[in-house]
Amino acid sequence: MNLIINSRLIIPSKELKWRFSKASGPGGQGVNTTDSRVELVFDIKNSSAIDLFMKQILLKKLDNRCIKGCLNIIAAEERSQYQNRQLALARLKEILREGLALPPKPRKATKPTRSSQKRRVNAKKYRGALKRKRQSKPSIND
Strand partners, 69: none
Q: Are 63 and 87 in contact (CB under 8 A)?
A: no
Domain with residues 3-100, CATH architecture:
2-Layer Sandwich (3.30)
Task: Tell me the pTM.
Answer: 0.68
Instruction: Delimit the domains of the chain by residue range.
Output: 3-100
Burial (CB count within 10 angstroms: exposed 0-12, middle 13-18, buried 19+), residue 96: buried
> Given CA atoms 49, 37, 87, 56 in this order, what sign does their dihedral have?
negative
Predicted pLDDT of residue 142: 58
Confidence of residue 127 (pLDDT cuts 50, 70, 90): very high
Q: What is the pLDDT of residues 8-51, one digit of tens each?
A: 888 888 888 998 888 776 666 666 677 888 999 999 888 888 88
Please state the separation of Cα 94 from the chain's center in Å: 8
User: For residue 58, what are the contacts with CB-CB under 8 A and spacing of at least 6?
Assistant: 44, 50, 96, 99, 100
Q: Which long-range contacts (CB under 8 A, 24 or more apart) does 78-83 make?
A: 78/36, 79/26, 79/27, 79/30, 79/31, 79/36, 80/36, 81/20, 81/34, 81/35, 81/36, 81/38
